[in-house]
Amino acid sequence: MKYSAEKKRTIILYLLEKISTGTTGLSGVVAKTFGISTNTVHTYLNELIDANIIEKQKRGEYNLVTKQENYIFKRSRGDLYTDTVAYDKCLSKLIKHLNENIKHIWMYSLSEMVNNVIDHSNAENMLVTVSYNYLTTNVMIIDDGIGIFEKIKNHFCLSSHDEAICELFKGKLTTDETNHSGEGIFFTSKMMDMFVISSSGKIFTTSKYDNEFIFDINECASGTCVNMSLSNFTNKSAGAVFALYSDVDGGFSTTRIPLKNIFDSAPVSRSQAKRICNRLENFEEVILDFEGIGWMGQGFAHQLFVVYKNSHPTVSLVPINMNENVANMYNHVLNSN
């Protein structure tokens, strides 16, 4: 049976997604899902092999064909002269066949990350690695500079790299207010399917699958590594992401803080709340996400929802995803005020 071009495209994308996740019994799974014969699935598999989109490992097992290209940029020879240099030299030709919304996201995101290397890192060298297959494009940027968390910690006189990461989650953070808005990392992390910054033995990451989280890593390499990944078929747009966090005039007015990514255990103290409250007056609305938080202390809740709120009445604090224990403490401090 001959299927429409749209149905065939849907089947093939599903087939490739299952290959990328290592699904066993591949042809049977796809055949059952779409109500087609396994012979049809095998026909599509052979077409994908002929097109060099997948490769056969052994009977019933396939891999996506993934290619990788590396580029080295040196400040000493004038390579780091513009924030679009990596997009122009490393990526634009590879994604020229993709939809405009995807090209816009990559141009914005890659330019913002390279700008950080040029203006903030004091790095002499930058390595850009582009890995791509039919489904996904991945870009990794490594520099040999001071390290982003160390830079933020020193500039704002913070006590730890964890505090620096906490500030990154909020957005509007820059060590050069005259020339930069501090929005690049925040919005790039929301546009990408996977976004990771590794530096000073710490990781800041956001992904569409696992939400934001941070954790210690054993390696403590110098410099900064940024890793970004985006589906070649995403319907996201840069404009829509900006709109989620903007007011009617287009200003960056809303931020979201995933509390489970800031604290190793339940937040209990006023000092922890004060860390969260730092710079919140730069926003009109602050979404405090309690997902994964099993409990919070009275001091933390009182400092955040009573003390801070009373002193900053124009900042709207919006708690979401509170379980029963957290909600009870939230209501307790409000009713006791």
Compute CA distances 73 → 121, 140, 144, whole Å: 14, 13, 11
Q: Which residues of 139-175 are buried (b: 16+ CB within 10 A; e: fewer)?
A: bbbbbbbbbbbbbbbeeeebeebbbbbbbbbbbbbbe
Contact 169, 262 (CB under 8 A): yes
**Tokens in use for 309?**
């709120």
Instruction: Report residue 165 CA to chain centroid gap.
Output: 13
d(CA 331, CA 63): 53
User: What residue ranges in 202-332 does DSSP mark as E strands?
Assistant: 202-207, 213-216, 224-231, 254-258, 285-289, 316-320
Q: Output the six-digit token pair for 252.
A: 């960056």
- Of the listed ranges 59-68, 104-113, 140-149, 194-203, the one predicted with least confidence: 194-203
Q: Does 266 have pLDDT greater than 90?
A: no
Percent of the chain with pLDDT over 70: 88
Instruction: Measure the CA–CA gap between 318 and 309, rounded to whole angstroms.
Output: 11
Least Cα distance to 99 among 235, 266, 239 occurs for 235
Q: Per-residue pLDDT averaged across 163-169, rounded?
A: 79
Which residue type occupies 331? Answer: N
Which domains are assigned to the chain? Answer: 5-64 (1.10.10), 67-240 (3.30.565.10), 253-336 (3.30.750.24)
- Confidence at 174, pLDDT banded by 50, 70, 90: low
What pLDDT does residue 172 have?
66
Cβ atoms of 228 and 252 within 8 Å: the answer is no
Q: Cα–Cα distance between 36 and 238 in angstroms, integer?
A: 37
The pLDDT assigned to 311 comes to 93
Q: What is the mean pLDDT of residues 178-188?
A: 68
Question: Are residues 131 and 138 in contact, defined by beta-carbon separation less than 8 angstroms?
Answer: yes
Phi-psi category of residue 278: left, alpha or beta, with phi > 0 → left and psi -120 to 50 → alpha? beta
**What's the rounded mean pLDDT across residues 89-114?**
94
Query: Can you spell out the DSSP letters for 170-190?
Result: H----S-TTT--S-HHHHHHH
Report percent pLDDT > 90 for the chain: 49
pLDDT at position 211 over 60: no
- What pLDDT band is residue 209 in, cutting at 50, 70 and 90? very low
- The reported pLDDT for the residue numbered 248 is 45
DSSP 25-78: SHHHHHHHHHT--HHHHHHHHHHHHHTTSEEEEETTEEEE--EEEEEEEEGGGT
Decide if 18 contacts 45 (C-beta within 8 A): no
State the chain's mean pLDDT as an integer. Answer: 85
Please say whether the beta carbons of 272 and 304 come within 8 A. no
Q: Identify the pLDDT of residue 2.
A: 64
Handedness of CA 235, 110, 116, 227 (dihedral sign): positive
pLDDT digits (tens, 9 = 90+) for 26-74: 999 999 999 999 999 999 999 999 999 999 988 888 999 999 999 999 9
Over residues 291-318, mean pLDDT: 91
Residue 259's alpha-carbon distances to 37, 44, 85, 94, 313, in angstroms, are 48, 45, 36, 38, 22
Residue among 94, 127, 91 nearest 109 (CA): 91
The least confident of 24-38, 46-60, 213-227, 251-265 is 213-227
Amino acid of residue 186 = F
